[in-house]
Amino acid sequence: MAELEHAQLLAKLDGSCRRPVLLFLISAVVWLLVGSTLALIASIKLHAPEFLANDAWLTFGRMRTAHLNSVAYGWAAMAAVGVLLWLVPRLTRAPLRGTRLLEGAAWAWNGLVAAGVVAILTGYSTSVEWLEFPLPIAMGLTVCFAVVAGAGLDALHRRQVDHIYVSLWYLTAVMVWFPVLYLTANIGIHGGLLSGVAQAMTNWWFAHNVLGLFVTPIALATLYYVLPKVIGRPIHSYYLSLVGFWALALFYNWAGLHHLVGGPVPMWAVTVGIVASMMMLIPVTTVAFNQHMTMRGHFHLLRSSPSLRFVVFAGMSYAVVSAQGSFEALRGMSEVVHFTQYTVGHAHLGMYGFFSMMMFGGYYFILPRLTGREWPSATLIRVHFWCSAFGIAVYFLALTAGGVQQGLLLLDPGVPFLDVVQATLPWLQARSWAGLALTVAHIAFAISVAQMVLGLAPARGTPTLLAQRVTSQGGAA
């Protein structure tokens, strides 16, 4: 029977990548918990400055930096690599090779991120945002990522498919883009090749590209895979996918300079960054439209499928955060909201509402196939989803409103600076509560994942659904 053969092929592909993928995915969850704790401490300090203020390593400058790096290089990057290593064999139909090496890379990755976070906490941060790890640690991470890229490109080379599906375009691009980005930025900035204005421009070129040319492509690859997989129909349009991919590849790389609006950098360079940011509306529109047209008529499945619920939430956040980002880049907008909490809200809607939620959706789809277990509890999944969704919504709305207010007050020369600080307090308190909700979500998620990998979850063979399916078809969780 062809269907059985196909299932056996998928099981073989899943089996080939099982150990490294699980290692990356489990490590990522640990870093998510570490990052959440650091985030909460940093957040509380902004409205209660006396909290944990007596030790150098617990001060805001180190907590906030350690948070950023543990969630960026621990949670986000390791989750992204795990999902990538699972998707590549499925999309190429070629079993993954070099899994021992990949497992080594996963362990080394954990060690390097841990060393980097300790370096930051003990005062050895390079103080270049998004590149705070000392150069030797960054070089180690580059090698680890090169191993990942090598294994992925090797599978691509041995592919058993004629047509390369859209998800695989994005994944292939990431495997080429990210090592180049990370190496160039680190060598250029920490290796002493660049100084002054060029250093700042390279810094933001890199930092923004982490979002656009690393986490975004992997999240979109997940969206393009999980969405049709769960609802059982093709992606609406190949041509929209095509425009979306190439527009991202063409424009994103230029966009980072909008971070330097109003700064002492050449005006033309900032202008190019702003135009590229606005042009990002093109790929975002195509992805959002493609997602909506694919989902049309299947929205009822959101009631039952955990994967779909997270993935669709993430896809919608992508449309919102990207459109917001395009207009935020404009000089008139920047004049008000640049250097306010507004930017922080925007960044979290992107990294959390979009990327992290997409990864959660990926976990809910992938882990049953790799562990042979079902998710232990629909209630835990519900707690995870609602605390995450509610948390990020409050987070975003509070900092967006608070940021606009802060920006307008800062522009008014008649308002003393301390009054501006006072005005942000309620919004920052709301952000801490939102952060607490997100942490609760992560704990629920971590409990589920732990039960899956420790073999405590049921192996009954039917998916854990959030509600009874209305239709008779089984579908995938």
Partner 1 sequence: MSDLDEPDIAALHKAVLREQKEPIEGREPVPIWMGAVFVVLIAWGGWYLGRYDARFDTQRADMQPLVTEVKSSPPSEPNTARGDAAMVERGAELFGGRCAACHQATGKGLPGVAPPLDGSEWVTGDPERTTRVVLHGLTGPIEVAGQPWNGAMPAWGATMTDAEVAAVLSYIRTAWSNDAGTVSLEDVKQVRDAHADRSAPWTADEL
Shortest Cβ 397–partner 1 spacing (Å): 28
Nearest distance from C-beta of residue 270 to partner 1, angstroms: 4
Which pair of tokens denotes residue 195? 């100084």
Measured from the CB atom, the residue of 40 and 282 that comes closer to partner 1 is: 282
Which residue number, 39 or 452, has a Cβ lying nearer to partner 1? 452
136 contact partners, CB below 8 Å, separation of at least 6: none
Whichever of 14 and 328 has its CB closer to partner 1, that residue is 14
Q: Nearest distance from residue 279's CB to partner 1, in Å?
A: 6
The nearer residue to partner 1, 423 or 476, going by C-beta atoms, is: 476
Map residue 160 onto helix, strand or coil. Answer: coil
C-beta atoms surrounding 100 within 10 Å: 10
Question: What is the rounded distance in angstroms from the CA atom of residue 336 to the CA atom of residue 214?
Answer: 29
- For 436-440, the CB contacts below 8 A with 24+ separation are 436/40, 436/391, 437/387, 437/388, 437/390, 437/391, 437/394, 438/36, 438/352, 438/387, 438/388, 438/391, 438/392, 438/395, 439/36, 439/37, 439/39, 439/40, 440/383, 440/387, 440/391
Cα 253 to Cα 69, 191, 202, 279, 321: the distances in Å are: 22, 22, 11, 11, 18
Q: CA dist 245 to 175, 238, 289, 337, 411, Å?
A: 15, 11, 14, 30, 39
Nearest CB to partner 1, comparing residues 49 and 266: 266
Q: How far is the CB of 7 from partner 1 (least distance, A)?
A: 5
User: Which residue, 170 or 427, is less far from partner 1 as judged by CB?
Assistant: 170
Do 62 and 124 touch, CB atoms closer than 8 A? no
Give ∠ CA 72-385-90 in degrees, rounded to 5. Answer: 65
Minimum gap (Å) between residue 474 Cβ and partner 1: 5
- Work out how close the CB of 385 gets to partner 1 at its nearest, in angstroms, rounded to a whole number: 21
Residue with Cβ nearer partner 1 (53 or 242): 242
In angstroms, the CA 220 to CA 330 distance is 25
Q: How far, in Å, CA of 157 to CA of 455, rounded? A: 35
Q: Which is nearer to partner 1, 232 or 426 (CB)?
A: 232
Closest CA to 345 of 316, 380, 320, 371: 320
| Residues 6+ positions from 476 with CB-CB distance below 8 Å | 229, 230, 305, 307, 365, 463
Q: How far is the CB of 103 from partner 1 (least distance, A)?
A: 10
Closer Cβ to partner 1, 50 or 412, answer by number: 412
The least distance separating partner 1 from the CB of residue 466, rounded to whole angstroms, comes to 16
Q: Helix or strand or coil: residue 383?
A: helix
Distance of closest approach, residue 409 Cβ to partner 1, in angstroms: 14
